Amino acid sequence: MKTKAVLTAMLATGLFGAALAQDWGEGDDVFADNPAFEPSRALCRQVRDREPPASDRPDAAMRASLAGCDSEVLYYGIGMPADPERARLCAFAEIAEERDHAPLSGRVILMTIYANGVGARRDFDVATHLACNVEGAPMESHGRVTRLAELRAQGWTDTDFHYCDDITSGLAAGYCAGHEARIAEVGRAAALAALNERLTPPQRRAYAALEAARDAFIGAHGDGEVDMSGTLRVALSIGAREAAHEAFLDTMRRLDARRLPAAAFAEADAALNSAYTARREELWREARGTVTWEQVRAAQRAWLRYRDTFLAFAARAYPAMPRDHLAAWLTAQRTRMLTDPG
């Protein structure tokens, strides 16, 4: 499953939890009612009316061309050249159409644009006003507004202000893990496309089956083998998925370069069986957060299908690679997942 789809599913099921709704300058939340936060809240009251200029907003005709746009993709150039000006227009459209529920969209992207002066003229008042209306934990909101004031005072002219630099909550850590994963996903896709450009049609069909088995396994691993009981649950789940995707890319590169180390599959398989048994006994003895033995077993079965599909693909695409070497390599990867579940 692609990263944006994973995030959408987690939002739909409530896995991101609830953030503190803002107006940071005027809110009466008990957690925000702390004298230490008063300086940043006062800053928010000072810029209460500093809305972005009307000339920066899309007109009705432009809005029609922005249907379905993604300001995060446009601003950061995820899978395409960055287009900060269109990202600004898209962010306004997302707000107007109430499509700004994604973590980095709408006000967050506009805040970033006006702070960095990329996609619009730099305006710290507007950036601060937007920051004051971005949901977040109290310490996070205080820190972000305070940092914008400090950047203004320093005469800062760089362009690397980022929402994720001020996060303090597990909730926001999940947002930012998802953002980083979207960027990494594009790089991996390009690398895999380059590796596979010489595949024959039968080899491509075998690779398509491998991708399906890989995604099924990584989904079972990220959903079922990560403890989802804490506030960092989304970040941890995304991290587990990302590690598995990176391991897949590393294996493909090693296959292509004929660099898989010689290893005995029987020994690797015995180590995996031992780790699998130990994990089962651990979970039977004491539950590990939300992880159950049934989920681990389901992930293991998905991994077995993934392993066998990988071996079938390699036999077609890399027939000179000894089957046992790849089987041992994949088995060692799975053993590490079970012995160090995070």
Q: pLDDT tens across 276-324, in order?
A: 999 999 998 887 789 999 999 999 999 999 999 999 999 999 999 999 9
pLDDT attached to residue 103: 84
For residues 215 and 314, state if they share a domain: yes
Please determine, for residue 10, whether its predicted confidence score (pLDDT) is greater than 70.
no
Q: What's the helix, strand, coil split of the chain in %, to 5?
A: 65, 0, 30
Give the span between the Cα atoms of 320 and 87, in whole angstroms: 48
For residues 150 and 248, state if they share a domain: no
Global pTM? 0.86
For residues 87 and 62, state if they share a domain: yes
Q: What is the dihedral of CA 211, 214, 215, 217, to 10 degrees?
A: 160
Mean pLDDT for the stretch of residues 267-274: 97
The residue to which tokens 């079922």 are assigned: 224
pLDDT attached to residue 102: 81
Closest CA to 171 of 236, 221, 220: 236
DSSP-based three-state secondary structure for 307: helix
pLDDT-wise least confident of 113-127, 163-177, 196-210? 163-177
pLDDT attached to residue 3: 55
Mean pLDDT, the chain, rounded, equals 91
Q: What is the pLDDT of residues 91-121, one digit of tens each?
A: 999 999 998 888 899 999 999 999 999 999 9
Please determine, for residue 143, whether its predicted confidence score (pLDDT) is greater than 80.
yes
Dihedrals phi, psi of 291, to nearest 5 degrees? -75, 130
pLDDT attached to residue 342: 62
Find the distance separating the first CA and the last CA of the chain, reported in whole Å. 21
Catalogue the E-assigned strands of 120-257.
none
* Boundary-marking domain end, from 137, 166, 195: 166
Residue 98's domain comprises 20-166
* Boundary-marking domain end, from 166, 186, 206: 166
For residues 157 and 198, state if they share a domain: no
Give the span between the Cα atoms of 127 and 124, in whole angstroms: 5
Q: Is residue 7 part of a domain?
A: no
For residues 116 and 175, state if they share a domain: no
Please determine, for residue 180, whether its predicted confidence score (pLDDT) is greater than 70.
yes
Mean pLDDT for the stretch of residues 205-225: 97
Q: Is residue 220 part of a domain?
A: yes
Dihedrals phi, psi of 288, to nearest 5 degrees? -110, 85
For residues 213 and 106, state if they share a domain: no
Q: pLDDT tier at 22 (50, 70, 90 boundaries)?
A: low
For residues 235 and 95, state if they share a domain: no
Q: 172, 136 in Cβ contact below 8 A?
A: yes
pLDDT attached to residue 23: 85
For residues 159 and 87, state if they share a domain: yes
In the Cβ-directed half-sphere of 332, how many Cα atoms lie within 13 Å? 17
Q: Is residue 125 part of a domain?
A: yes
Eight-state DSSP code of residue 200 = -
pLDDT attached to residue 101: 83
For the chain, how many structural domains are there in total? 2
73 or 99, greater pLDDT: 73
Please determine, for residue 13, whether its predicted confidence score (pLDDT) is greater than 60.
no
Q: Is residue 241 part of a domain?
A: yes
Q: Which two tokens stand for residue 57?
A: 């907003």
Q: Which two tokens stand for residue 43?
A: 């800053």
Give the span between the Cα atoms of 73 and 52, in whole angstroms: 21
Closest CA to 240 of 277, 285, 295: 295
Q: Which amino acid is at 40?
A: S
